[in-house]
Structure 1
Amino acid sequence: SSLKFEGRLIVQAQGDGPVRYVVADYDTEGHLRGYCRFDAEAVAAASTGFARPGAKTLLGQGVFVMTLDRGPDFERTQGITPIEGESLSLAAEHYFEQSEQVPTKVRLAVGSIQTDDRASWRAGGALIQLIAADDARGSTEEVWDRSRALFQTLADDELIDPTITPDRLLFRLFHEDGVRLENAVALRALCRCSPDRIKAVLASFGPEERADMVEQDGKIRVTCEYCASVYELAPEDVGAE
């Protein structure tokens, strides 16, 4: 996969619709955080008549952005494509086709399931990509066509069912071709915000802008949009006396 790397993957979609901005930030240690900015009333109005409104309906005209951050020793790489289709999976496929020139299929699902006498929300996804032909493999087009056809049979409930593990799901789809799994990485919600990071962000503003941030009680307060943590700082801590 073109996504094999060490570092962070940041996926964003932003537009002029009721949902203005949505982002997922993942690192290869399994840490994940996300954020969505939207107008609740506008979302409700746009959803009228839809069982599940799509990305184009909610995001409107906008862009899909993928950023790879391999750490301080590497330059960030970023690709931007217009939002295409009525799902983020189609937007992702369009991104790989236009920016990476790698044929890709993506399936995403989200839904509420009943576990232990309570309902909970789960999300799941799967991605396959064409491996280029070479002398060892020969042509891969026939395998790709068959894999795409099998991949299209994936149902949403298979992707979010906690009893269907990745190895079981892959075996269901591709048992005739053989399945090899890499070591699994457990996902954990974790925000990277900290007082030092907040101070660094505030330091990027000019002195007058920082002075305008001081509230009536003499404090500067910053809320992390990812985890809703509130940081309270003294003006002198960030040069806003």
Structure 2
Amino acid sequence: MSDTINRFIFDNTEVRGEHVRLEKSYQDILSIHHYPPGVANLLGEFLAAASLLSATIKFEGSLILQVRGDGEVPLIMAEANSERELRAIARDANQAMSLDFSTLIGNGQLAMTIDPKHGKRYQGIVSLDGDSLAHCLEAYFEQSEQLSTRIWLSADANCAAGLMLQELPSKSPDKDRWQHLTTIADTVQNQELLTLDADALLYRLYHQDAVRLFEAKPLVARCQCSRQRVENALLSIGQAELDDIIQERGQIETNCEFCNRLYQFSPADIAALFNQSSDITRH
């Protein structure tokens, strides 16, 4: 499988890890919008990071990683859900020319949102103080979660990949062991991340350590948009405003910004939508 995520642990330690490589899903997402090279690479890192982070949470729902800044890319985000489905987008980024993270993002904020199917949304926000997405995420965990976390990300025109180590809460953390494991991981090269599977990469890094690799799980690019979601958004706008649009244009059309799927609503569709909503309200 070309798109997989693997969990691994180190025996007799409180350190866990995740490894992810994305090929087809990454290419499927890039094929929709045709971003400049620097934006495409950064979007790949966002996808890899969202995959890694969502794998550490036991929940049903989505994890959304988003940055708003004043650089060449005003907004970039990636989403991974508990079904290991991915989507991502960069807005107003077609003219971005840089390959540099700071130039692309500028000054702004990094937000991580956990949106469970049941329960309240949670969002953590930190300023963009690092010179890479990985460094910004490490700062997020240091400030917001108090979990020692190290992340390595890379992407090129063909593949996006990432590696994460995280020290779990413990009454007596072994800081020497943590330092040992992260120092070794710091030797990883971008090309190794992009070309080696989890088994080969962990052997290259930790063949002298007791590391246990779990079964790979597949990931896929799949948008979560639906006609029902669009209908809910239209209901929030109100019938009067929608009737004005229909009078001007004849129908309502909206595209999903992630997958470009077109949704069309005729005057009869809008009338039925609000009639149905009224019936539900009365009952």
Deviation at 1:84, TM superposition (A): 1.6
1:4 aligns with 2:79: no
Partner of 1:131: 168
SS of the residue aligned with 2:100? coil
Partner of 1:118: none
Equivalences for 1:106-185 in 2 at 5 Å?
A: 106-112=151-157, 121-134=158-171, 138-161=172-195, 164-185=196-217
Deviation at 1:215, TM superposition (A): 7.1
1:125/1:159 contact within 8 Å kept: yes
1:189 aligns with 2:189: no
Deviates further, 80-89 or 1-10:
1-10
Distance 1:92 1:238, change over 3 A: farther
Letter in 1 for 2:198: P
1:214 aligns with 2:260: no
SS of the residue aligned with 1:180? strand
Deviation at 1:192, TM superposition (A): 1.2
Q: Distance in 2 between matches of 1:15 and 1:122?
A: 25
Q: Distance in 2 between matches of 1:172 and 1:184?
A: 18
Partner of 1:57: 103
SS of the residue aligned with 2:156? strand
Task: Provide structure 1 residue ranges, at least 5 long, that are not aligned to the other structure.
Answer: 113-120
Deviation at 1:17, TM superposition (A): 1.7
Equivalences for 1:60-75 in 2 at 5 Å?
A: 60-72=106-118, 74-75=119-120
Distance 1:23 1:215, change over 3 A: farther
Match of 1:29 among 68, 77, 83: 83
Deviation at 1:217, TM superposition (A): 4.3
The CA deviation string for residues 25-72 of structure 1, in whole angstroms up to 9 with x for no partner, is 11122211111113433x22xx2xxxx311x21111111111122322
Distance 1:68 1:183, change over 3 A: farther
CA root-mean-square deviation: 2.1
Deviates further, 202-211 or 26-35:
202-211
Deviation at 1:19, TM superposition (A): 0.2
Q: Distance in 2 between matches of 1:101 and 1:61?
A: 24
Q: Distance in 1 between matches of 2:132 and 2:241?
A: 39
Q: Distance in 2 between matches of 1:20 and 1:36?
A: 8
Distance 1:168 1:219, change over 3 A: same
Q: Distance in 1 between matches of 2:112 and 2:191?
A: 27
TM-score when normalising by structure 2: 0.71
Distance 1:83 1:215, change over 3 A: farther
SS of the residue aligned with 1:40? coil
Q: Distance in 1 between matches of 2:131 and 2:92?
A: 17
The CA deviation string for residues 61-87 of structure 1, in whole angstroms up to 9 with x for no partner, is 111111122322x22211011112221
Partner of 1:99: 144
Q: Distance in 1 between matches of 2:147 and 2:164?
A: 12
Distance 1:38 1:238, change over 3 A: same
SS of the residue aligned with 2:86? strand
1:5/1:70 contact within 8 Å kept: no
Match of 1:90 among 135, 139, 142: 135
More helix by share: 2
Distance 1:125 1:63, change over 3 A: same
| Structure with greater contact order relative to length (CA < 8 Å, sep ≥ 6) | 2
1:16/1:59 contact within 8 Å kept: yes
Percent identity among equivalent residues? Answer: 34
Q: How many residues align?
A: 219
1:104/1:128 contact within 8 Å kept: yes
SS of the residue aligned with 1:95? helix
Letter in 2 for 1:87: S
